[in-house]
Amino acid sequence: MIVAEQKGIDEILDSLKGYKRVVVASCGTCVTVCLSGGEKEALALKGLLMAGAGGDGGGLEVSVVNCKRQCDDEFLDDLEAELLDGDVILSMGCGVGVQFLAEKYADKPVVPGLNTSFYGAAKELGYWTEYCQGCGNCLLEKTGGVCPVARCSKSIFNGPCGGSQGGKCEIDPDIDCAWQLIYEKLKGFGKLDRLTEVFEPRDWSTSRDGGPRSIRRHDINIDI
C-alpha cells in the first residue's frame, strides 16, 4: 500500500491562508490503513484546524467529505457537490489523490494534508516499512522474494557490498542487510545456485526516469 504521514498543522494552516471555507477530503484506502488520512483522521484534523485558526475558528469554516477512493472517478462523482462546496479542498489522500482531484476539478484549489512516503507494509501495529519502489521490472523470483531495489540501502544487484555486519546494514544497524535476507531465503529453498546466475543488463526504461508511467489494458471491454 501507499504509506503517508500527516503534515504538521502549522504547514497545513499556512497552505490554507486566504481561504475561509475548507473541505477536508478523507480517503478510505491506503491512507486509512496507515492511520493518516481516513475519516477519523479527517475529523481530528478539522478540530485542529479550527483550534489553530482561533478559539471560534477565526472565521474558518471546515467540512469533511469521506471519499472511498480519491484516485477513481466513480467514487468521486456522487460527492462532487460536497467536494466543491468550499474555497479549497484539503486532500487527505496520497499524492496521487491530490493530483487526481486537482486535475478533475481544475478550477478548485487542492492542497495536500499528507506527505506521501513509500510503498510499504505493516510490520506491526503502527509501524510500516518500505518494500517496493515501483520500478516496473520485478525480479523477485530471482532474489527469494526480497527486493534489492527497495530494501538494499544502496540498491545493489550483484550481492552484498561487504560493509554489513551480523546481518545488519552498515548504513543503519536497525536495517536488515537485504542481501543477507536474500541469501537466507534462497538457502532455505535450496536455490543458492541462483546467486551464480549473471543478470542481464537492467532495463530501467520501466522505472521513473522516463516521465509519468501509464498502463492501458486493451483486453478490457468498456462497452458495458
Q: What is the pLDDT of residues 100-122, one digit of tens each?
A: 999 999 999 999 999 999 999 98
Per-residue pLDDT at 220? 66
pLDDT under 50: residue ranges of the chain:
224
CATH topology of domain 2-118: Rossmann fold (3.40.50)
Per-residue pLDDT at 219? 73
C-alpha cell at 24: 477536508
This model's pTM is above 0.75: yes
Domain boundaries defined on the chain: 2-118, 137-199
Per-residue pLDDT at 222? 57
Per-residue pLDDT at 137? 84
pLDDT in tens, 160-202: 899 999 999 999 999 999 999 999 999 999 999 988 888 778 7
Per-residue pLDDT at 26? 97
Per-residue pLDDT at 213? 66
Which residues touch 102 (CB under 8 Å, ≥6 apart)?
108, 110
